[in-house]
Amino acid sequence: MDDYRPGYSLKAPGASGGSLRLPGRGDAFPRLDDHLVVPEVTRDEVIKGRRVVALPAETPHGDQHHRLDYVTGAHVAPGYEASTDLITRMSETSDFASDVCIRKAGTDPATGSRYLEEIAFEVVSTQSERDARDKAEEMHRRGVRRVFGIFVKGPRRVCEWSSTSRSWRPLEAGFRIEDRCLAAALPVAALLDAALADNAVMESLIAKGNPVFLERVAAAEVKGKAEGKAEGKAEGILDLLEDRGISVSPAQRAEILECSDLDRLRRWLRQARVAASVDELMTEA
């Protein structure tokens, strides 16, 4: 099919037709779900009147997309939803999906449909710089507050779209994305590195009070306290034997220090006061 022409729809409008006027913008927009293409049937998208095909990915695009899903998914704040390849009718002549977006959960009472995404991420690889720029412009015009591009060809970098300069603004490696949609600040370096991605996910789970993580932390603290008590009792046994002049072999010392059974250590400690040898102590225990 040839490039999309204004007034010609790739898809017949459905019952969700109608328009929306954004406060302060003065522009009427189609509904988010009044599509020019058929979602989940075609790979077609429309960007400023141009028909484009969303192509399957190769590495490094596919790897980067997966990492983006992984990191952003863990950072979504309560009350928000993240989506992958969620198509949005951005304007009369644009109907396309960002790679990842975050929106307010639930239904927008003003439209009866989902909320518009607030943050969007785009992996820029085989697609043209023009497509990436045009998508960013259309998203910002529609009302998407922030648009980020992860460039995987050439110098790998993360950028944020600037509507003022109409260009991608590179973000420093140490920059952290802070936003109400995010439960914790998202380090941009985590979007480019697998190990840093794991660290960022862990930090976000802590910030969100993930119950499984907190349970593991509590269990580790209990174990640490128990190990501390065991170590203290083991050292007390050895000190008492030394004070009594009872010889302790390296193997016996290691066995006492490595014991984590508090009940056994308590028995050994009692026996250490009267036992004539370490062998007797351990036999009595």
List the Cα angle 167/172/176 in 5-degree steps.
Answer: 100
Taking the chain (285 residues) in runs of 10, the rounded mean pLDDT of each run is: 42 44 59 90 91 85 94 97 96 94 96 95 83 94 97 92 94 96 97 94 90 80 77 87 87 90 87 85 72
What pLDDT is recorded for position 126? 67
SS (HEC) of the chain: CCCCCCCCCCCCCCCCCCEEECCCCCCEEECCCCCCCCCCCCCEEEECCEEEECCCCCCCHHHHHHHHHHHHHHHECCCEEEEECCEEEEECCEEEECCEEEEECCEECCCCEECCEEEEEEEECCCCHHHHHHHHHHHHHHCCCEEEEEECCCCCEEEEEECCCCEEEECCCCCEECCCCECCCEEHHHHCCHHHHHHHHHHHHHHHCCHHHHHHHHHHHHHHHHHHHHHHHHHHHHHHHHHCCCCCCHHHHHHHHHCCCHHHHHHHHHHCCCCCCHHHHHHHC
What pLDDT is recorded for position 284? 61
- Decide if 45 contacts 54 (C-beta within 8 A): yes
Lookup: tokens for 3: 């490039």
Q: For residue 21, which amino acid is it? A: R
What pLDDT is recorded for position 4? 41
Residue 54 CB neighbour total at 10 angstroms: 16
In the chain, the domains with their CATH numbers are 57-209 (3.90.1570.10), 212-284 (no CATH)
Q: For residue 252, which amino acid is it? A: Q
